[in-house]
């Protein structure tokens, strides 16, 4: 598998999944169930997962696939794998707030190297090109013909007036306590992996996450941010956030533009 082969496939699958998600989102009602970890799952999660998984297995049958909605994939290990969250931000979806995304990423040797984040309700698509540069595609988002893309890059932050983005559904006192260590000009909330993309485009300088996440929640956004010059580190010791961990569970982390003067936890 080459990056040149990968990027058109994951772009197309993200758009296909987005169409299916929006079809259900715009219906009068949809089914919501509760998984064993007490998190919600909708028919849109399951439909998007089936579509993406089938497409990736057909295109790249020799690459390990890890996906949120298929528990059997969570026990598999490999240095190189594709990792999918077919609908990141399920709570945003259920509450019809629009901040949900389709996330598909490639991880190599613990690092998310390529990925796509598509926010169908927002009409925004971010991905890494084959050369690793992160871009935002504009225009009609046609499935067969990629539109214009604009390279994105992180901000040159002003540490006396930072722009902070935090979780919309999971913000808590611990998050606020950490944010209060900084001199903040503006703070905004956003759902799903869009927070990584807001840092990647320079719309925010730092995104601290003091809460539970899984690797499928973060890998695609992490890849996009890295391709825009950003970094993602562990909250506790500021070492790089790595992937392929036991159970695919993440520690707390901070995503940021490198000019930010990081504070200790």
Q: Is 217 annotated as a binding residue?
A: yes
According to the model, what pLDDT value does residue 27 have?
87
In terms of Cβ atoms closer than 10 Å to its own Cβ (0-12, 13-18, 19+), residue 91 is: middle
Question: pTM score, two decimals?
Answer: 0.95
Q: Is 87 annotated as a binding residue?
A: yes
Q: Which superfamily does CATH assign the domain made up of 3-151 to?
A: Fructose-1,6-Bisphosphatase, subunit A, domain 1 (3.30.540.10)
- In this prediction, the residues of the chain whose per-residue pLDDT falls under 50 are none
Question: Can you read off the two tokens belonging to residue 222?
Answer: 């992490």
The domain segmentation of the chain, as residue ranges, is: 3-151, 162-256
Q: Are 124 and 139 in contact (CB under 8 A)?
A: no
Q: Smallest Cα–Cα separation from 18: which of 126, 152, 147?
A: 126
According to the model, what pLDDT value does residue 49 have?
96
CATH number of this structure's domain 162-256, picked from the four choices 1.10.8.60, 3.40.470.10, 3.40.190.80, 3.40.5.90: 3.40.190.80
According to the model, what pLDDT value does residue 169 have?
66
Q: Is 186 annotated as a binding residue?
A: no
Q: Is 115 annotated as a binding residue?
A: no
Q: Is 227 annotated as a binding residue?
A: no
> Can you tell me the distance from the alpha carbon of 8 to that of 197, in angstroms, rounded to the nearest whole number?
20
């Amino acid at each position: 598998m080459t990056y040149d082969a990968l990027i058109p496939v994951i772009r197309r699958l993200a758009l296909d999944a987005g169409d299916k998600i929006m079809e259900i989102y715009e219906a009068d009602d949809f089914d919501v169930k509760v998984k064993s970890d007490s998190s919600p799952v909708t028919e849109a999660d399951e439909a998007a997962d089936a579509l993406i998984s089938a497409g990736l297995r057909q295109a790249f049958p020799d690459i390990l696939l890890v996906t949120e909605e298929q528990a059997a994939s969570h026990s598999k290990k490999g240095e190189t794998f594709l990792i999918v969250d077919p609908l990141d931000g399920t709570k945003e979806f259920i509450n019809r707030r629009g901040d949900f995304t389709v996330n598909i990423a490639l991880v190599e040797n613990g690092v998310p190297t390529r990925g796509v984040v598509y926010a169908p309700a927002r009409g925004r698509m971010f991905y890494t090109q084959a050369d690793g540069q992160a871009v935002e595609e504009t225009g009609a988002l046609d499935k067969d013909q990629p539109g214009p893309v604009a390279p994105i890059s992180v901000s040159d932050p002003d540490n006396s007036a930072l722009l902070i983005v935090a979780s919309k559904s999971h913000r808590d006192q611990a998050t606020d306590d950490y944010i209060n260590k900084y001199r903040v000009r503006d703070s905004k909330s956003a759902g799903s992996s869009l927070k990584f993309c807001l840092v990647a485009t320079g719309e925010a300088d730092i995104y601290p996450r003091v809460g539970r996440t899984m690797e499928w929640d973060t890998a695609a956004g992490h890849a996009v941010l890295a391709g825009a010059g950003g970094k993602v580190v562990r909250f506790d010791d500021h070492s790089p956030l790595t992937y392929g961990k036991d159970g695919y569970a993440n520690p707390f982390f901070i995503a940021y533009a490198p000019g930010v003067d990081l504070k200790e936890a």
